[in-house]
Amino acid sequence: MNTVLFVIIKILIIVIAAPIVGGLLSGVDRKLSAKMQRRKGPPILQPFYDVIKLFQKETTTVNNFTRFYVAISLFFTIFTVVLFCLGMDLLLCVFSFTLACMFFVIAGYSSYSPFSFIGTERELIQIMCYEPMILIAAFGYYEAAGTFSIGGVFGLSSPVILKLPLIFIGLTYILTIKLRKSPFDLSMSHHGHQEIVKGITTELTGSSLAMVEITHWYETIFSLGFVYIFFAYNTTASKIIAAVICLVVYFLEILIDNTFARVKWQSALKYSWIITLITGALNLLYFNFFH
């Protein structure tokens, strides 16, 4: 009985804390981006102000299903983050995460707008870009850790990164896509950047748009969690180092966001698959032959 209660409390903490941390990271992102452009920048809490405002605004919908699909997408993203933080199966996380992304795509297609359609097509291309690498990372993790369980990292005697250095590089490359940063912010973008109106979110207003924002906060946590499991193992120091490295990776993403122009979707697809092939395949081959 007590363990059930304990798990429920844990889940509640994850569900509440993840968006708070994600939102703060997003606020830091905007502040840092502004500093890099020699501007003062909005307050750190700005993302929360935006989301609360969106909830207070009128929600207009072209199709009532759009809002439903966005909500389902949010639900599965939360589900993924909960599974991840509870140390469950990595493969299950990847699959439920993909499901969440698919519902977002369906939401984009359900609003009869040409701008939204273009954004959605680009979202699909982005999923094509990063999905192979995420799967390879998951399989690589299995090879290195001997289990798909995320909780398993804390039982290892050395970090996974030592066995999967190339896969880690490939993963950070595609994280740029997942974090919706330039040069790969094709389907929808943050801050003042924009193209094709607002891409996949063009027709979303009020609470629907707010849900997309919150989904993104959870996604950020999941993405950085992926970085975390590469560095953590059974010592306490490694956990701290892993958390610091997550922040460093996030900083690098912001730096890249501010220094690169957006690429065409053809280039995005080409580069991400080439990187995936080189880093992923080489690392897996090396690992299988020499260990």
Partner 1 sequence: MNMIKKSPWILHYDGSSCNGCDIEVLACLTPLYDVERFGIINTGNPKHADILLITVSVNEQNIPVVKQLYDQMPNPKAVVAVGICAATGGIFKECYNVMGGIDKVIPVDVYVPGCAARPESIIEGVVKALGVLESKRKANEE
Instruction: Return residues touching partner 1 (CB under 8 A).
Output: 30, 34, 37-43, 46, 49-50, 52-53, 56-60, 191-192, 194, 197-198, 201-206, 209
User: In terms of CB distance, is 3 or 58 closer to partner 1?
Assistant: 58
What is the nearest approach in angstroms of partner 1 to the Cβ of residue 103? 21
User: In terms of CB distance, is 45 or 248 closer to partner 1?
Assistant: 45
What is the nearest approach in angstroms of partner 1 to the Cβ of residue 209? 7
User: In terms of CB distance, is 210 or 246 closer to partner 1?
Assistant: 210
User: In terms of CB distance, is 95 or 115 closer to partner 1?
Assistant: 115
What is the nearest approach in angstroms of partner 1 to the Cβ of residue 106? 19
What is the nearest approach in angstroms of partner 1 to the Cβ of residue 94? 31
User: In terms of CB distance, is 10 or 35 closer to partner 1?
Assistant: 35
User: Structure tokens of 153?
Assistant: 């990292």
What is the nearest approach in angstroms of partner 1 to the Cβ of residue 193? 10
User: In terms of CB distance, is 63 or 238 closer to partner 1?
Assistant: 63
Rg (C-alpha) for the chain, rounded Å, is 19
User: In terms of CB distance, is 193 or 239 closer to partner 1?
Assistant: 193
Q: What does the chain look like in DSSP terms, one character per residue?
A: -HHHHHHHHHHHHHHHHHHHHHHHHHHHHHHHHHHHTT-----TTHHHHHHHHHHHS----SSHHHHHHHHHHHHHHHHHHHHHHTT-BHHHHHHHHHHHHHHHHHHHHHS--HHHHHHHHHHHHHHHHHHHHHHHHHHHHHHHHSSSBGGGGGG-SS-GGGT-HHHHHHHHHHHHHHTT-TTS--S---TT--STTTGGGTT--HHHHHHHHHHHHHHHHHHHHHHHHHH--SSHHHHHHHHHHHHHHHHHHHHHHHH-PPPPHHHHHHHHHHHIIIIIIHHHHHHHHH-
Residue 165's identity, in one-letter code, is: P
What is the nearest approach in angstroms of partner 1 to the Cβ of residue 66? 12
What is the nearest approach in angstroms of partner 1 to the Cβ of residue 39? 4
